[in-house]
């Protein structure tokens, strides 16, 4: 009887429509019931620039080479909210005796400590197309020297797996060379001006802390994924050339606003664990 009915063109048509409808509703049920899937990381030439975007979690990163005048405020504001940040410091910073108590404080508070190159070398040009400015042996020696300085603070090499390049410039070769050492190159998520907090007073492109905060909130509003998986980069210090309007003085305000908007903070290595 079933075979006879399916020979009729109209019956076959409606049978096909019914089966498609069944498949459609089955898919809807599955994706409704299934756990929300990870939207995946974002990469730039193999460098991780954003973590998973399926939940409202982000990480804050701080880099440092010679200056750390914002450290006390930054650590205080992080501590008040039990946020664990990530501090990527150069070998120059780790070797500076006056910074040793600060580094131990960062470590003991549970923040991530990672490399930012030993001598704060620039690996690639700013202009396009980019050119490499270091050879593989120079790059390798510089990164290993930075890792050795980190180990001197009783941080095992196996715990240091992420590397934020100096000047935030790199090329695909740098990503591969770091990988050969068991290190993953990461950077900041583009779209905000948070990384301009180092600018000196005399810089014609000086960006105020108010404008930096506006750029972060604007990105949160306009990006389809908000700040999910964001790697928000700032500096632990900008030096004597910036005497006014420090972003670190508004760090608590920034954290509180993002928390108010429903975001939570995760240490960068945990955010990027997958």
User: What is the phi/psi pair of residue 72, to 5°?
Assistant: -60, -45
Q: Give residue 36's pLDDT.
A: 36
- Top-confidence residue, 146 or 25: 146
Best CA proximity match to 81, nearest among 62, 109, 107: 109
With a CB cutoff of 8 Å and minimum separation 6, the contacts of 16 are: none
Question: What mean pLDDT, rounded, does the chain reach?
Answer: 89
DSSP 36: P
Average confidence (pLDDT) over 214-225: 98
| pLDDT at residue 209 greater than cutoff 90 | yes
- Counted residue by residue, the chain has a size of 274
- What confidence category does residue 127 fall into, taking pLDDT thresholds of 50, 70 and 90? confident
- What confidence category does residue 7 fall into, taking pLDDT thresholds of 50, 70 and 90? low
With a CB cutoff of 8 Å and minimum separation 6, the contacts of 216 are: 192, 193, 194, 227, 232, 254
- What confidence category does residue 128 fall into, taking pLDDT thresholds of 50, 70 and 90? confident
Check whether the bond before 115 is cis (ω within 30° of 0): no
State the burial class of residue 25 (Cβ atoms within 10 Å of its Cβ: 0-12, 13-18, 19+). Answer: exposed
Q: Give residue 208's pLDDT.
A: 97
Q: Give residue 1's pLDDT.
A: 45
State the burial class of residue 185 (Cβ atoms within 10 Å of its Cβ: 0-12, 13-18, 19+). Answer: buried
| pLDDT at residue 62 greater than cutoff 70 | yes
Average confidence (pLDDT) over 145-152: 98
* Domain spanning 42-271, CATH class: alpha beta
Domain ranges within the chain, ordered by starting residue: 2-33, 42-271
Tokens linked to 54: 């399926």
**pTM of the shown model:** 0.85
| pLDDT at residue 266 greater than cutoff 50 | yes
């Amino acid at each position: 009887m079933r075979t006879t009915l399916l020979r009729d063109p109209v019956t076959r048509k409606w049978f096909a429509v019914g089966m498609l409808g069944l498949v459609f509703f089955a898919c809807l049920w599955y994706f409704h019931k299934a756990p929300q899937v990870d939207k995946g990381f974002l990469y730039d030439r193999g460098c991780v620039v954003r973590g998973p975007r399926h939940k409202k979690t982000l990480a804050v990163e701080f880099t440092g080479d010679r200056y750390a005048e914002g450290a006390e405020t930054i650590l205080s504001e992080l501590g008040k909210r039990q946020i664990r940040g990530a501090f990527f410091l150069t070998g120059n910073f780790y070797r500076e005796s006056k910074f040793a108590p600060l580094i131990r404080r960062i470590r003991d508070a549970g923040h991530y400590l990672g490399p930012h190159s030993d001598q704060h070398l620039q690996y690639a040009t700013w202009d396009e197309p980019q050119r490499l400015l270091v050879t593989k042996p120079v790059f390798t020696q510089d990164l290993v020297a930075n890792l050795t300085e980190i180990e001197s603070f009783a941080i095992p090499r196996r715990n240091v797996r992420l590397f934020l390049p100096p000047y935030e410039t790199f090329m695909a070769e740098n990503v591969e060379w770091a990988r050969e050492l068991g290190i993953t190159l990461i950077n900041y998520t583009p779209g905000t001006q948070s990384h301009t907090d180092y600018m000196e007073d005399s810089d014609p492109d000086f960006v105020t802390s108010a404008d930096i905060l506006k750029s972060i909130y604007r990105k949160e509003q306009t990006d389809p994924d908000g700040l999910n998986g964001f790697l928000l980069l700032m500096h632990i210090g900008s030096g004597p050339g910036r005497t006014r309007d420090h972003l670190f003085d508004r760090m608590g305000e920034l954290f509180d606003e993002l928390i108010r908007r429903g975001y939570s903070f995760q240490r960068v290595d945990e955010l990027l664990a997958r």
